[in-house]
Each structure stands twice: as structure tokens, then as C-alpha cells.
Amino acid sequence: MVRLTRAQQQERTRAAVLAAARQEFAARGYVEATVDRIADRAELTRGAVYSNFPSKRAVYLAVLVDMVEGGAVGEAPSSPRAVGAALGAFARVWLERLPLAGDTSASGRLQLRSLAGVVDDEPGRAALAQVTRLEALLLGLALEARPPGRDRGWPRLVRVAELVLTLLDGAGHLAEAVPGFGDPFDVARACEHLGGIDVPDSWDPPHLPYVAPARPCREAWAPPAELVDLLTGRRVGLDRDGVVALLGSGRLGAAEEAARAAGPGDQVSVVVLTSDPAEIGRLVRLRVGDLAGCARRVLGPDPWPGLRVVVDDRSLVAAAAGVPDAGDATEAAVRIRDGEIVARAEGRGAGHAASNAFQSGAAGPPPHRPGPNHQGNRRGTDPERENRRHLSHAALRKDGPRHQCRTHPLRAAASADGLSPRRGTVLSVTNRVGRIPDTEASSSPDAFFSFCPSSGGAPPSANWGHENKPASSEVAVGKI
């Protein structure tokens, strides 16, 4: 008899637990199912179940992920070109999960991928809200990427996608509570009509003009060999030129900032980070994988060319990118060029900053040629200053004169320039300096200003309450 390795034994135990759990959840539902009964069905001990899954919720989410990833995805027979037709076809595929008349209540909930009673704590609800925003973005981008959209320039379709997902999710909840109510074909036709309504939808986040440019660098890039892309279901590498946006489960809505700012030919890889891979990580896999499977059946094998979404369970990508303490609140991004990290950004707007780096036509940062006394990659060297100047010029050309200023935190800039700004003071883009009443927003430490002499003029007077700023200066303010 061949003796199994420890890894093979663990995989066999895990498969037995998942099979028993699927039977238990189909018979009793999530709320009534227990880990003890799952262990009895699998003919294992309770400890054997917990050695593979930390909680009942983790087991349930693993069962749903297994259903989604193991389901056969057929090829799209003929991909609809019109947005309305594509949405109608997507809705018909999604509605196939609705329970049939003869299904039991528990098995119907399992088939619906129901999360009733599952996501019942604040971290889970917050993660689900962000994942739902990511789902709407993905469906909207898939619709915008249709061939007519590339030729005619579709507007942003994320809000239409939100409406469709709201309607489908509502139909699923109603089918769970009142089986047999309503006609799924009517729901699909309603989704098709949603593709033709005029929904105002623009992409103009107010904080993006004030995001600091990505910092240039030259660092080695050695990502994990292969990770599973949730959009295609295939293993992919992250070594192509483009942007890697590392987003915690609480910041997934920022994925659009990287996707919208990416240049032609860039691969945008959204790497999802979480401190709870057993539950939050599986929740992301479930929802994104489910939507992607439906979209592939309608729009083709890869509806998102140039976009990838992976879950970094063990923070391996974060470690390769030099992002410490990666977790649910992380927001960072790096730009990859020729196997190196050439720019990086952290904090709000990081994906936007990294996507915009080196898009002015330049080939990238100048090569670093160490001198005879070089002692490693030290910050502040001449090549680094040249890199920063390169990025600043690129930002000037891209954003226009309003955003030609280098931003500083308010207190740091005031200390550096010897100024004493008073609370409530706001500088404008014009040649005036005004004052508004103190408010929570104007006194927030997040408020900042930038000063940019347009012709070498002196800094504005320390008495900011008066309109005596030199005409040779240009001042801008903002708040993130």
C-alpha cells in the first residue's frame, strides 16, 4: 500500500469535509447546520474539521467557492454587441441559479449562493460592500470593452451595472423568501431595458487631482510564480509591464482609479489583501468568481483584456512589492517596467498615481550609474532627483496648469516656508487669497496646500488673511 504524504492526507481530509458540508448545508441550511454533524457525515473528528477550516462560515464559503470554481463554463455562442442585449444575456445566465419548484428551502439557498445569516458582523458587511462595488466595476468595464464601445466611445457604464446587479440580487432574495414568485424572463427583459436608459455617470473623483505623483525607484520585482486570476480562472503571472494595485478588502473600490488611468498596453493587476483569508478571502473569490463565470458565458473567455484580479492569501505579492503590514486597509501600487519596479505609491489614490507614472512617452526612469563611492541604493542621489523631475514634468503635461504645484502637508509646508497659516484659511487657484469660516473640513489635518511660483516669485505673505499675494505666484488648495 502506498503511503500518503502529509499534504495528500490533508487534501483528502479537506475534500471529505467539503463533500459532507455540502450535504449538510443542502439538508439543513447554513443556520441549522453544525460542525459536529458535518464531522459525523465525513466520519471524521470535530478537530479534523477545524484543522482545515477555522469556522462554520469558512466551511460554507469554501463549499460555495468550490461550486462556483468547479462549475463548467460554456463558451459564448455569439457575444452580443449591444449593451442591452449583453445585459439581458448576462441576467439569463445569472438567473439559472434560482431554485426550482421541487427544491427544498435549504438546497435552494445553497444553489442561490445565499449569504443570509452568513455575513452578519461588521467586518464581513464592510468587505461585502467593497466586493459589490468591485463587481459593479467589473461588469461595467466588460460592457465598455465591447467592440462598439471601443469604436464609438461608450460612456461609463458602472452605474448601469449597479442597477442590474441590484435587480438580480433582489430577485434572488425574493426567490429565497417566496419561491416561485415572479417570472425570471421578465427580470431578464428588465435588465435588457436597463442597458438603454440614460443614467448620468461620470468619472471625476474630487481627490484625484491632489494625489501626489508616484515616487520613482529602481527595485527588483520577483512576484510569486503563478496565481489564479479570478476573471479568467487561469493561472497568470504578474511580470508583465503595467501596474500592480495592492488593495485591502476594505479598499477594493479604489480598483477603478488604477483601471481608468492605465495606459494602452498596460496590464492592471488588482491584488486583494486581507488579514482573514479563510473567510474574507473566500468571500472575494466567491463573488468575483461567480460574476466572472456568468460574464464569460456571455461575453467570451476574457471580457477584461489587460485586467487581472487575484487574491494574495499569504501576502506574497505584498512582500515582493515591499509593502509591509499588508491588511484589509492597505492601498498601495507599483509600476512594473522590464522586470523592475520603477515607481511606487501608497495611500489614497495610489493606483491612480502609479498608473499615471511614465505615461508621457518617456521610456522610464534614467538608469542608475553608481559612482566609485556608491554604497547601495541610497535615497537622495542625483538619479533619484532626475526621476522625480521626470515625473513632475509628466504630471504638468497631463494635468494642465491647475495641478502644476507640488503638494505638501499643511503643517510641514508652513514650517518649511516659515509661514503661519491660520485655521480656516483657504488659498484658491486664482491670484486671490480668501478666508472661510472654520469648519471641520477646513481645520482637518488632512487639508493641504501647495505653493508654486510661476516665475520664481517669493512665497506669499505670512499674513494670509489679506489679499496681498504676489502676482508672480500661483497657489492651489485641496482636501482629500
pLDDT digits (tens, 9 = 90+) for 83-106: 999 999 999 999 999 988 778 888
Q: Are residues 240 and 347 in the same domain?
A: yes
Query: Is a pLDDT exceeding 80 seen at residue 377?
Result: no
Mean pLDDT score, 234-258:
95
Mean pLDDT lowest among 8-12, 252-256, 322-326: 8-12
Q: Are residues 153 and 44 in the same domain?
A: no
Residue 399 CB partners (closer than 8 Å, separation 6+): 209
CATH of residue 25's domain is 1.10.10.60
Q: Are residues 102 and 243 in the same domain?
A: no
Q: Are residues 387 and 291 in the same domain?
A: yes
pLDDT digits (tens, 9 = 90+) for 156-207: 999 999 999 999 999 999 998 888 888 999 999 999 999 988 888 988 899 9
Q: Are residues 244 and 348 in the same domain?
A: yes
CATH of residue 216's domain is 3.40.30.10
pLDDT digits (tens, 9 = 90+) for 255-302: 999 999 999 889 999 999 999 999 999 999 999 999 999 999 999 999
Residue 446's φ and ψ, nearest 5 degrees, are -80, -15
Q: What is the pLDDT of residue 402?
A: 41
Q: Are residues 128 and 152 in the same domain?
A: yes
Rounded distance between C-alpha atoms, residue 336 and residue 321, angstroms: 10
DSSP classification of residue 336:
E
Q: Are residues 227 and 327 in the same domain?
A: yes
297 or 362, higher pLDDT: 297
Domain total of the chain: 4
Is 67 part of any domain? no
The cell for 147 is 467592440
Is 128 part of any domain? yes
Is 163 part of any domain? yes
Q: Are residues 225 and 306 in the same domain?
A: yes
DSSP for 156-196, written as a single string: --HHHHHHHHHHHHHHHHHHHHSTT-S-HHHHHHHHHHHTT
Q: Are residues 283 and 137 in the same domain?
A: no
pLDDT digits (tens, 9 = 90+) for 103-129: 888 888 899 999 999 998 999 999 999
Q: Identify which of 235-239, 356-360, 407-411, 421-425 has the greatest average pLDDT.
A: 235-239
Q: Are residues 300 and 387 in the same domain?
A: yes
Is 72 part of any domain? no
Is 58 part of any domain? no
Q: Are residues 254 and 389 in the same domain?
A: yes
Quote the domain boundaries for residue 430: 405-479
DSSP classification of residue 2:
P
Is 232 part of any domain? yes
DSSP for 224-289, written as a single string: -S-EE-TTTSSEE-S-SSEEEEEEETT-GGGHHHHHHHPPTTPEEEEEEE-S-IIIIIHHHHHHHH
Any alpha helices (H) in 330-381, and if so which ranges? 350-356
Among residues of the chain, what percentage have pLDDT more than 70?
71
pLDDT digits (tens, 9 = 90+) for 425-434: 333 333 333 3
Is 159 part of any domain? yes
- Pairing state of beta strands 331-337 and 242-248? antiparallel
Query: Is a pLDDT exceeding 50 seen at residue 233?
Result: yes
Q: Are residues 358 and 473 in the same domain?
A: no
